[in-house]
């Protein structure tokens, strides 16, 4: 009975961690590819957020590498029924879990400050964008992409632009956007500030659900690895106990 349960745990841990290995490889491979691909780097440079994106890419490399190593410990430890590897896997996973819980708790406590910071950065970006356009200088395409993606125009509305309205504000549902001088009837009416806040709130809910799912998965892996480690120890104890009894 005990051997049957341990065999089931072994299979579950191997399968779970093999899937995590694939995820770790995907994250690591994607981040390395984007950081080395010339076309991707050109797009990042054009966005005007090169340094911030590079930091995110390096963070993804670290996350992918740690995920890969941790999952390999779990996969190999379960397959070879190694207490040492399973112990290392349990320890690393526990540290990661505690770090995630700490980060999530701090994020919840300071959620208002984080929302305010994001709002301020968005406002500053759009104000700079409007100023550059009014001075007839070419702004970075980052804010153009934001306005297209969120279907918004300006910080509060299209009236933020004192001169011409940017083509990025054109509402393709009512216009073919061929005119260089856009009429107010052809542009998005909503400002990007409110749209951005709504997007952040919606994404925070999704991120929270993803984090809860990851935490639940990690708890199961922690429990399974601990139970299997104890089962291996018990099996070895019984096995060597029988050998000792026979020898005496």
pLDDT digits 0-9 by tens, 104-128: 788 778 777 877 777 777 777 777 7
Q: pLDDT tens across 180-201, in order?
A: 566 777 788 888 888 877 887 7
- For residue 125, the Cα-to-chain-centroid distance in whole angstroms is 23
pLDDT above 50 for 247 = no
pLDDT above 60 for 243 = no
pLDDT above 80 for 173 = no
Tokens 């770790």 found at: 24
- Here the tokens at position 117 are 């910071």
CA neighbor of 198 nearest in space, from 241, 149, 240, 134: 149
Is there a domain that residue 152 lies in? yes
Percentage above 70 pLDDT, the chain: 80
Q: Are residues 147 and 104 in the same domain?
A: no
Q: Are residues 67 and 136 in the same domain?
A: no
Q: Are residues 89 and 38 in the same domain?
A: yes
Is there a domain that residue 54 lies in? yes
pLDDT above 70 for 2 = no
Q: Are residues 130 and 48 in the same domain?
A: no
Tokens 């070895």 found at: 236
Confidence band of 69 (pLDDT split at 50, 70, 90): very high
Which residue range(s) make up the domain with 157?
A: 123-194
Query: Which is more confidently placed, 48 or 35?
Result: 35
Q: Are residues 168 and 90 in the same domain?
A: no
Tokens 């990042």 found at: 44
Residue 136 sits in a domain whose CATH number is: 1.10.1450
Mean pLDDT score, 224-235: 83
pLDDT above 50 for 244 = no
The structural domain count of the chain equals 2
Q: Are residues 224 and 101 in the same domain?
A: yes
Query: Which is more confidently placed, 100 or 239?
Result: 100
How far CA 114 is from CA of 106, 144, 185, 200, 222, in Å, comes to 10, 24, 35, 10, 31
Is there a domain that residue 200 lies in? no
Contact between residue 173 and residue 156 where contact means Cβ atoms under 8 Å apart:
no
Which of 66-70, 120-124, 171-175 has the highest mean predicted lDDT (pLDDT)?
66-70
Q: Are residues 14 and 88 in the same domain?
A: yes
pLDDT above 80 for 175 = no
Q: Are residues 104 and 11 in the same domain?
A: yes
Confidence band of 89 (pLDDT split at 50, 70, 90): very high
pLDDT of residue 132: 65
pTM of the predicted protein model: 0.67
**Across all residues in the chain, what is the average pLDDT?**
78
Q: pLDDT tens across 32-46, in order?
A: 888 888 777 766 665
Helix axes of 38-47 and 50-79: crossing angle, nearest 10 degrees: 130
> Alpha helices of the chain — where are they, by DSSP H?
2-36, 38-47, 50-79, 83-109, 111-134, 141-150, 192-247
Mean pLDDT score, 22-36: 87
Helix axes of 141-150 and 38-47: crossing angle, nearest 10 degrees: 90
- Here the tokens at position 63 are 């996350």
pLDDT of residue 90: 92
Mean pLDDT score, 52-77: 87
């Amino acid at each position: 009975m005990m051997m049957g349960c341990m065999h089931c745990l072994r299979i579950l841990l191997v399968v779970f961690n093999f899937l995590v290995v694939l995820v770790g490889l995907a994250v690591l491979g994607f981040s390395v590819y984007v950081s080395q691909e010339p076309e991707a780097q050109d797009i990042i440079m054009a966005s005007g957020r090169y340094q911030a994106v590079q930091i995110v890419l390096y963070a993804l490399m670290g996350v992918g590498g740690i995920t890969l190593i941790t999952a390999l410990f779990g996969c190999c430890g379960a397959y070879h029924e190694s207490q040492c590897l399973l112990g290392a896997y349990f320890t690393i996973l526990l540290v990661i879990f505690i770090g995630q819980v700490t980060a999530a708790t701090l994020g919840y406590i300071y959620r208002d400050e984080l929302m305010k910071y994001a709002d301020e950065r968005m406002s500053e970006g759009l104000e700079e964008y409007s100023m550059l356009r009014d001075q007839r200088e070419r702004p970075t395409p980052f804010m153009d992409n934001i306005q297209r993606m969120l279907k918004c125009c300006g910080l509060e509305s299209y009236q933020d632009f004192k001169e011409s309205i940017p083509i990025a504000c054109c509402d393709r549902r009512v216009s073919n956007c061929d005119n260089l001088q856009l009429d107010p009837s052809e542009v998005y009416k909503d400002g990007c500030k409110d749209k951005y806040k709504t997007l952040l709130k919606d994404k925070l809910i999704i991120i929270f659900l993803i984090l809860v799912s990851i935490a639940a998965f990690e708890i199961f892996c922690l429990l399974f690895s601990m139970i299997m480690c104890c089962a291996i120890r018990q099996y070895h104890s019984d096995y060597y106990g029988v050998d000792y009894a026979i020898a005496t």
